[in-house]
Structure 1
C-alpha cells in the first residue's frame, strides 16, 4: 500500500505532463480531498498509508484534472474572501480577481443589495455575511445556479436575508437598492477560443454573451437608474480591455462618478458608478 507522500509525487508528475499550471498545489488539494482531510493538514498525513478508498478517489480526481476540469469542480469547493463556497459545473468558478469588487462594495455603507447574475452566490453571500444588517436580492436565469446560490446562502448563514429570484437581468426585479453589483458574462466570442481549457468547462452563458462581450453591460446600464436609490452605487466586474467601452455605456445612461478600479495584478477590473443624487 503506497504512502500519501508517494502518491503525491506521482500525481505531480502526471499533472505536470498534462500541462496544469500549478501541479504541486493542485495535487495537494486533490489528495487532501481524496483523504477527506483539510488541505492545511495534509503535510501531517503524508507518511500515512493511502487506503484503497482514498486511492480510488484520488485516481478519479486526477483523471478529471488531467482532462483540465477545474479543481473546484472536482472538490466541489472554492475559497473566496475567507469563506468556502460550494461550486458545481453549473456556476462560474469564483475567482480572486472578483474580490476587487467585494473590497470596493464594502468601502461604503449599504443596506439593500441587488446582485445580477449571481451564479454561485459568492458576491451576494459574501457581502451580506460582511454586513449583517443588510438584506438583498440575487438573480440568475439558471435554476441550477440559483440552487447552488441557495446552498451557499444557507450554509453561510445569510439565507433569511437573501431572496433568490429567477430573472433575466432586471426583468423580474422590483424595488430600489442602494447597491447593485454584477459579475456578468463579458468575454468576446473571438476570445473564447483562446481561453484556458479549465475555463471551457464552466457554463458558456456565464462566460460570454457572444459578439463584442458588452451585451450584459448594455442591459444593466439601460435598467440601473430605475432600480437604484438616488445616489445609489453600481459596481460591475469588467474585462481588462473593456474600461473605456463600459464607462461610455454607463455615462450614456446618465450614471455619474464613474471610476475604474484595478485588481492586484494592475488590470482594470471593476467599474464603479452612481445614480444621480
Structure 2
C-alpha cells in the first residue's frame, strides 16, 4: 500500500499568497485586544513559519509550484477575489471553485450571491466562518437557514468552521452541538466542519455517527495535532467521513504538512479516502 506522500491529494482548503494583511480586516473590526489589531493575521499566535509573499511573484504560480512539489492534484479555493477567479479559469484541472458566505445577516443578498457564484464559477461548495461574521451569526441561526436550503437546492456541500476559533472573538456561535439541529432540519444537506471542532471533537464524532451527511475536515491543523478522537474514528467507523484540508498559505506551508503526515497513525486503507476519495465524493468529482 502506498504511503501518504505517494497518493494523489485533493486539498479542500488552499489559497494564494498575498502581500499585506487587508484580507483579515473583516476579523480585526470585531476584535478588541491590541495584539489582534496589530497582527498580520489575528490568529498568528497559533502558527509558526507562516508563508509570506513577494510583491513581484505571481500568487497562482507559487501555489501551483507548491501543489506540484507535494502531489496535490486539485485544490479548492474561494472565488471571492480576482486571483482565485483567474486561477479557476486558467487552470480548471487544478483548482476547484468554492463560494464564500461573508455576511449572512444580509439574508437575500447572501442567497443571490451564492446562486451567482454557482452560475458564474460553477462552485463545488461554499463556506462560512460563523465567528468571523459581524455581527456574528451562529451555525444554527435563522439567517443561515436560507443558505442551507440553497445549498441543498444546488446540490453543493457547505464547509463550516466549528469549535473555538483562533482569532480572539467569542466562540459560542461555533459550538459543535449547534450542528445537530441543522442536520435534523436539513437531512439532505452535506455539511463539512472546518478548523478542528475543539474542544468538542468527541461530540463531533458522535454527531457524524448520527448524521450520514456530516463530515470533518482537518483544515488549520498540523498533522501531528490531529485530534485523537478523529484519528480513532477514521480508523474505525469513520474512514469515509474524514477529509484532508491544509491551510496554505494562511497558516502553514505544505512542506510542514506533508513532512508531518506520515506520522499520523491512520490505517493503510484510510489514507486514499482521507487524501482523495472522500473529497472527490463530497465535491461531486467521482461521477
One fold, TM greater than 0.5? no
**Relative to total residues, which structure has the larger strand share, 1 or 2?**
1
TM range (shorter): 0.3 to 0.5
TM-score (norm. length: structure 2) = 0.32
Instruction: State the TM-score, normalizing by the size of structure 1.
Output: 0.33
Question: Which structure exhibits the higher relative contact order, with contacts defined as CA atoms closer than 8 Å and separated by 6 or more residues?
Answer: 2
